[in-house]
Chain A
Amino acid sequence: MGLLNLFRRTPTFRHGVHPMEHKEQTAHLAIRRLPFAPTIYVPLAQHIGAPALALVKPGQEVVRGEPIAEAGGFVSVPMHAPVTGIVRSVDHLVPTAAGPKTPAIVIDTYEASTQEVLYGREQDLSTLSREALIEAVKASGMVGLGGAAFPSHVKLLPPEGKVIDTLIINGCECEPYLTCDHRVMLEQTDRLIAGIRTIMRATGAKRAIIGVEDNKLDAVQAIREKLPEDGVISCEAVETKYPQGAEKMLISSLLKREVPSGGLPVDIGVAVYNVGTLAQLGELIPHSQGLIERVVTVSGPGVGKPGNYLVPIGTPLSFLMDQVKSSSDANEVIVGGPMMGMTVASLSVPITKGVSGVVVFEQAAEDQRERPVHPCIKCGACLDACPINLNPSMLGQLASVRHYETMESEYHLNDCFECGCCSYVCPSNIPLTQYFRIAKSVNREARAAAA
């Protein structure tokens, strides 16, 4: 392997895995708009941080794009009405992909409405100060659209003494099946570059590098054709492998810098944004609009009409499933990609800001995956897969005897970002990633109890 890497042109990180990509189902399909669901459920907590606070009352009419909730704290964002309609409830409990129910604003869509976005006003970005730009980002309700759902404005304010010199734009989309970022890069290149310009100004970054996996060279070409002359923005192909789109990995690939253990990209002068996020910002900020819809890849063996759909935030999965003709044999609906996404227990789960894909598997696919769990045979495949050099085998053995603290104190449990590479390669079929999640949460609870 090492020898092969010498001849590789594209930069990359060490380890990782290469699952079947399954992108051919949707990669060539242009983004299409999904119809508006009759009822929309907008959860107040669809981002990392404090939930938003509702600004509307039941019975109130809302116009598409109008703010309906304000940020509940610094690490929080406002919400905007995804449809024109009438508010039915502001504290209706809806299930989430993660499990627990969460309050949501429910809006009944006016079917007769044209659903035009009438809300917002033009603003000239070149006259805005840095602070005003950051405020504009916050007002847009933007979070990381790659899946993390981290409020975008927070990254624009580095802590005292930290300077952001480089902006990394994540166009890797390393999860199998997902192609929404690919389509955004092809179809919304101008918006993307406008968004990069805005964020560069807001962070003060001197340069921006767009990293795209080399299975999307058409996107690299499309972006390079539109890049401005001044050369501060560049687009680089990186090796196609999973998890190339993890921010630590992408930073390693492009800059050969390592985010310190337990630290953040800002510690090494980097801010990372997803291409979808910046393309949306490039479109929303000049019009002072809010995030009300996003591109979602709907794919997998259980989907009759796979594609990249522009979906209003709050659309329930059941409506989405009907629209894409999900097969009657479908038995597993994953929100996100198949490597890191979550299986939903209910189709009442709405599409939220962080949902980049919906992947549907059928019974047949599942039978193939069913395998007995064997003891660890110490084959070392997980060590060769772990992108951050952990020892998942040892961690797994410690987890099975519940030595959760040792896992943390001696085997760097908390550096695991749950990419799932170890579980993916494990020939014994041990659910390692799940073990680590449990261990982390047990440790968290123990710490909370001790405090």
Chain B
Amino acid sequence: MSVNLGIPAVRSSGEGNLFAHEKFQSAAKRELKNEQLRANLRHATHTIRDKRLNVVSELPDWEELRESGSRIKENVMARLPELLEQFEAAFTARGGVIHWANDATEANAIVTSLIRATGETEVVKVKSMATQEIGLNEHLESLGINAIETDLAELIVQLGHDRPSHILVPAIHKNRTQIRDIFRAEIPNASPDLTDNPKELAATARAYLREKFLNAKVAISGANFGIAETGTLGVVESEGNGRMCLTLPETLITVMGIEKILPRWEDLGVFMQLLPRSSTGERMNPYSSLWTGKNGPDGPQNIHLVMLDNGRTRALADKNGRSALHCIRCSACMNVCPVYERTGGHAYGSTYPGPIGAILSPLLTGITAEENSSLPYASSLCGACFDACPVKINIPEILVDLRAQDVEAQHSVRKAPTEMDVLMKGASWALSSGTRLKFLEKGLPAGRLLAGKDQRISWLPGIAGGWTSSRDIPAPPQSSFRDQWAQREKFQKSQGSQQSQQSQASQKPTGKQGE
């Protein structure tokens, strides 16, 4: 029990599907063995990446749009309390009802009671990261309420009793034959002769879901944007399943993270240029729906919105990591990430995979949360994600900061120094003195002996073993840089008497490259 001192608790942690159940390093090792997954992923991420580059280069003002997008989001975070209240007032004035949820448990309970009030036991659902984050489907299922995913990829994942592995193309890890097998087994009226032709597969899903849409009384959605000035919510999609859910049922329940607010109507004109191009590499997604409360006989009569914290205020309190909340879930960062491309989304363990997942999950749960502390290390820090991000989230910088936080946290709980501590101590001892370093470098040839014929060391004894358990390191060079430098100096001195100072200054380095 905590004692209430009149100060609100800042650190309310996120819960739900935000946790890795296993360290990234070991999950990644297993996923790497799945060659089918890697081939599918490679094809998909490279295709989307190329499409994205094409449509982005069409816009002469892409960088200006990014800059505005980034600053608008910064402004949203700085003014969040005021904007949330403005949104609530506008949304409520148009007949909508707002519910606030501190965490996943509260949000799930609110949605459940809203559904129960309608007496329904089956609801249709638009793909939504927020509801996936809080584990809504599983929660509803445990209470006997069937939430049917209507996005084709989500349906494939749901019918396959699987987990999504990408935020944009959740079934990216399944190929057409696998999908056909799932449909044949799980869709009641699917033809036994169903082929793996994508057109036929999509038609099967259409027939199956249309009946559900026409009869559904309750729908659940997420929201891409909530506009404070007008109280408008927006959902961006492709297939029309969103439009079906958002307009046909009597009751619509939306779950939205509190960070999704945009201040003004005109801001939507910025984000609707940034999002589709970054996301699917299209100039615009096929369908977007915008609604501002109730609209007479056009659309649902009961409009609910659950405003979700679930660790967002905790992330907001992290000044260095806060900008992770700017994320518009476009997935551009995962499509360019060399680590994601090889490990796939499941290795990250939570709803949010890829570079953004590596920072967002630990920010929402806290770095000390079990296993999530390994996520900031799931990166090569190559910076491709930062370049791709339409709202300029500096993911590499946040990764480094979170690593530092992790090291701090580990320090405070550990009694005995770790191997890493010993190594670092040793390195600082060696690097702080030229003589010591020189002495140590004499050991380099021994390193070459350790390496095999291919001049790579894949196993190191003792304290350095942790490093080589997940990567090979090249063997050390024959002689140290310091030795080479000294020799070069010696050589130049002996040449010096014959050459002028000037030609020496323009002399190119003579060292051979790529031995």
Partners in one complex: no
Q: Report B's interface with A, CB cutoff 8 A.
A: none
